[in-house]
Each structure stands twice: as C-alpha cells, then as structure tokens.
Amino acid sequence: MAILKCKMCGGDIELSADKTFGTCESCGCTMTFPKVDDDQRANRFNRGNQFRRAGEFDKALAVYEQIVQEDENDAEAHWCCALCRFGIEYVEDPNTFEYLPTCHRASFDSFLEDVDYLAALEHSDGVTRRQYQKDAAKIAEVQRGILATSQNEEPFDVFICYKESENDGTRTRDSLMAQEIYYQLTEQGRRVFFSRITLEDKAGTEYEPYIFAALNSAKVMILVTTSAEHANAVWVKNEWSRFLSLMRKDRSKLLLPCYRDMDPYDLPEALSVLQSYDMGKIGFIQDLTRGVNKVLNASKAKETLKETVKETVVAQQANTNVAPLLDRAFLALEDGEWEKADAFCEQVLNLDARNAEAYLGKLMAELKVKKRDALKDQPEPFDNRNNYKKALRFGDEKLKQKLSDDIAFINARNEEARKTGIYNDGVKAMNAASTEYTYKKAAAIFQKIPGFRDADVLAERCLEQAEICRKDAIYQSARSQMTGRSIVSGYESAIKTFRMIPGWKDAEDQILVCQRKIEEIKAQEEADRMERERKKEEARIAREKAAKKRKKDCRDRNADCCRLHCVCDRADNGYHYAEEKTEDESSYGIHECRRL
C-alpha cells in the first residue's frame, strides 16, 4: 500500500489503490487523492507536493507535467498543475486551524478557466469532481480579492528583486545594495517597489496583491544578487520568473540583473541573455540609472504620442460643432442667463471633453460673471473650483496665464485689504495707548504686517513709548517710596528701584539724595541713642546718691523706724532693712533700722 504526503500539511497518508478522496488524519483536511498503483508514482506526487509547499512552483509543475505526459487522464496531476501555475499554497488559519489557500502567482486569468483545472474536472466524477469545484471556488475568491486590492495601487516604475534575509535571519548584502539603488531612483522622482520599505506595514500573507500590482505596472525590474544561491532563492525566483513571463507579452518591460562578487555566468540561465551590471565597477549606479531612465522615458514618450494622436483626431472631429455652441454660451453669459450658458457648455463637452473654453464658460456661469475680464472682480479666489482646475488643465498658455493672473490679482487685492485693516487697527490702538501694556499691544498689531507701509516704523515707535512708560512707572514708584518716609528701609527700597532705570531722568541724583537721607537718619538715630544712654546714666547716679543719703539718715532714727515694712525677716549685724517709697513714689530707698 502506497504512502502519500498530504497536500496541505505534508503528513503521511496510507492510501489504497482505489481511493481518490478522503481526509488526512494529521490535519483533518478533506482532499482529493491521485490514483497510485505503485510506489514510484506516489513518490512523484510526494516530490511535487514537497516542491509546491516549499514555494518552488516551477519545479513542482515540471514533476506534475511529467505525470500528465505519462497519463493524460490523471485528474489529480492536472489539478496539481493548476495549483502550481497560480502558486497556490495551503496555510493554516491561526484562529480556525483550517488550511486555506493563498496565492503567490496571481494572474488576470481566472483559475476557473485554467486548462488543467478544466481537465481535472473532465477526468473526475462524483465526490472528487465536487471537491475540485469546491476548492477551485475558494481559490477564485482569493484571486478576486488580490485583484481588487491591486487595482487600488498606484503604478510603479521600477521593481527591485532581491533576497532579504540569510538562513540565520540576518540581513543580506543584497538588501543593503538594493536599498541604495532604491534611494537613488526615488530621488530622481521614480516610484520604486522595494519590499523592505513598500511592504513594511503589511503582513506576510498580504504581500501578493501588492507584489502582483507592482510586477504588472513596473516597466523595469532590477535583480540584485551576490550569489547564484540568492538569485535562485524560492521567492526571488518567483518574482523574476513571473516578470520574464510578463516581458514575453509586453516588450516595453525590461529586466536588468545586477551582480557583485560573483561570475556573471553563474546567473540563472534564463537571465544570461539579458544585459547585466557589475555593481563592483566604478560608475555602476550612474550606468544603471541611465539604463532605467532610457526605458522609462521611451515608454512615456510612446504613451504621450498615442495620447496626442488621439486628442488630435477628437479635436478635428469636434471643432466643426463646438464653435457655434461656445458662441451661444458666452452670449448667454452676457445676458445673465446662467443655466442656459451652462447647458451650452455641457453640449460642447459632450463633443470635446477637454475643451478649456467650455470649462471657462461653466466657471463664469457658476460665479455669475458676464465678461471674462470681470473674473478678477470676484470677492474671493476661485482656484478651488473644479471648472477652474479643468480650464487650467486643458487650456492653452494664454488662457492659463489669464486665469492665473486673475487669481493673483484677487489674492493681492484681498491681501492689501487685510493688511490695511490690520494697519488701521494698529493706528487706532497706538493713538489710544497710555501704558506700557497698551503700547506693546499696538506694536504687536503692526508686527503682524511687516514691510507694509510704515508698519515697521510704527511698531518700533510703540515699543519705544512702551519703554518710556515702563521707566516712568518705575521712577514714580521709587519717588513714592521716598515720600513721607523717615526710616532707612524706605530709602533703601527707593535706591533699588532707581537702579532699575539707570540714566533715566535724574535717577542717579535721587539715589544720592536717598543715600544722604539714610546717613542723616542713621546719624540722628545714633545721637538719640547716646542721649538716652546719658540720661539713663544720670538717673542711675542720682538713685545711688539718694540711696546713700537715706541709709545714713536711717541710722539716726529711733526704733520707731522699724514700723516700716521690712523687706526681709532676718537681721544682719543687729539691723533690719526696710523699704520705703520716696515722696514722688518713683523709686525706693533702703533704710537701716536699729535692732528691736
């Protein structure tokens, strides 16, 4: 019994000779099986499936085509050929754990119309046929999603093909050199597909729509490689081989291999017939960009020529009819019949969709302008209107200049009015100003319109007046600190304040006045202190003399003096000491009394 590898997960499936449909026990996927009657045929299918799961679709396709040559009735071999042609790989969904098809070789040709898919249906029946149809519907849905996404992408000029990472995950030299080429071409205004930058915000499973769009739109592919191994890497080969297929259909496309540190004969055989560039040579980048520009400019010239011829034919056919309609349109504008004028212009555009005069007429009807010269009298510029943009786009140089001049005139006029309003506000604010703040506010208004009239001079004048007001306010504050003060701190504060405005009025003289006043106050305070000390000393001496006199008189008194209030209860040397107020009760005398 043959052992077959699962198309989805690669697990082993034990298969009987008559079994063509079943479920993989490893991943649980339902699938079709080939009819195998020997191990050699099973090994071929396993080898093809291994190549396809690894992304080597060309190798896998060669294996399956060999099986088809031996047996054209093998439906599974035809089916696998179709899978390889569209680069179908089955990837496990992390949410549902279901294996879903992804497409690595998108094409404008529908999978449902592929010859091998149709052959698979022809040579199958029953459950197997329905499974093919079910799987094909899923692939077609994926293909439609890729095409829908790719149609929203802007066309590229150049596609850079290279190997991004080494086997250990480090960045390759190819990637570094490819990035230098990317920067050179983008600086020249070219739109370049470089996966490291172009796809940096995309998930790996979402790459194909953008790669497909870039491969189909780019006129030039640059293959960057430093080894034959890198040039034949699975996904690198997938890109350049697809571009070669497109080159066979479109001769305007060109593939340019660029190599370094390798023999050019080691390039893949399919690329050996193409002109290649050695990146190690001096002037390589200049030669490459010149070659790229030559291809792109030639392609652009052909497209321009085709467009010019087409426009000429259309113009010749339409000119015989549009002139009378345009005359009627501008006559209607002169009469103020706006809707009628717009209708005539629409008739002209039905004959000639690029007629600039018709778009001019529609613009005048939209703005309700009777004469062309009156466009400049519009209160606001109209360059944001679609009819203006199209008249400018399709008009001759004279019309473009006229419309541009009108917009410039309106903008200049409105700017003059805006600045005049600001200027008048500034003058009004300056005339009413009386403080530092109000003068600065007026200056700020003038500074909004530098260079307009004498706004710069007036702004400077206002700032000067603001400075005068500031210094005057400081001067008056300092004067108020001097007035009515007789303490040092007031004059010291005044000195600090005057020093904030050196050279202003008589600030220095006032500082000297304050300093003299401080000296006078300090001298007076010192004199007063000394006078108080003198009087205090005189009072002390007088008290001592009075005390001595009373003590002497007390000795001569009789014992009745003991009736005086005693200061203490003890006797000292036969005497008591008593305290008695003097006549004015301002002090006390100490009397020595006899022993009782």
- Pick 12 or 196 by higher pLDDT: 196
CATH label of the domain that carries residue 170: 3.40.50
CATH label of the domain that carries residue 323: 1.25.40.10
In a domain, 407, yes or no: yes
Q: How far apart are CA 114 and CA 85, in angstroms?
A: 9
Q: Are residues 30 and 87 in the same domain?
A: yes
Residues 6+ apart with CB under 8 A from 110: 140, 143
Q: Are residues 18 and 109 in the same domain?
A: yes
In a domain, 122, yes or no: yes
Q: Are residues 135 and 165 in the same domain?
A: no
Q: Taking residues 397-406, report their average pLDDT.
A: 92
Give me the pLDDT at residue 335, please.
92
Q: Are residues 323 and 400 in the same domain?
A: yes
Q: Are residues 322 and 250 in the same domain?
A: no
Q: Per-residue pLDDT for 362 more than 70? A: yes
- Can you give the residue range of the structural domain that contains 561? 557-593
Which uninterrupted H or E stretch holds 324? Answer: helix 284-334
Q: Are residues 393 and 440 in the same domain?
A: no
Hey, what are 496's tokens? 């600090």
State the pairing for strand pair 88-92/30-32. unpaired
Q: How far apart are CA 190 and CA 199, in angstroms?
A: 17
Domain boundary among 429, 455, 482: 482
In a domain, 298, yes or no: no
Domain boundary among 456, 482, 508: 482
Least confident of 21-25, 234-238, 341-345: 21-25
The count of domains in the chain is: 5
Q: Are residues 50 and 117 in the same domain?
A: yes
Residues 6+ apart with CB under 8 A from 479: 494, 510
- For the chain, give the percent of residues with pLDDT over 70: 83
In a domain, 287, yes or no: no
Q: Are residues 133 and 224 in the same domain?
A: no
Q: Are residues 83 and 212 in the same domain?
A: no
Answer for the pair 254, 276: CB distance below 8 angstroms, yes or no. no
Least confident of 365-369, 479-483, 556-560: 556-560
In a domain, 439, yes or no: yes
Give me the pLDDT at residue 220, please.
94
Q: Are residues 426 and 343 in the same domain?
A: no
Q: Are residues 101 and 27 in the same domain?
A: yes
The SS3 of residue 381 is: coil
Give me the pLDDT at residue 302, please.
60
Selection from 14-18, 191-195, 207-211 with the highest mean pLDDT: 191-195
In a domain, 340, yes or no: yes
Give me the pLDDT at residue 204, please.
62
Give me the pLDDT at residue 230, please.
93
In a domain, 371, yes or no: yes
Domain boundary among 368, 388, 413: 413
User: 67-114: per-residue pLDDT in tens?
Assistant: 899 888 888 889 999 999 888 888 776 667 777 788 888 777 888 888
Q: Are residues 406 and 429 in the same domain?
A: no
In a domain, 336, yes or no: yes
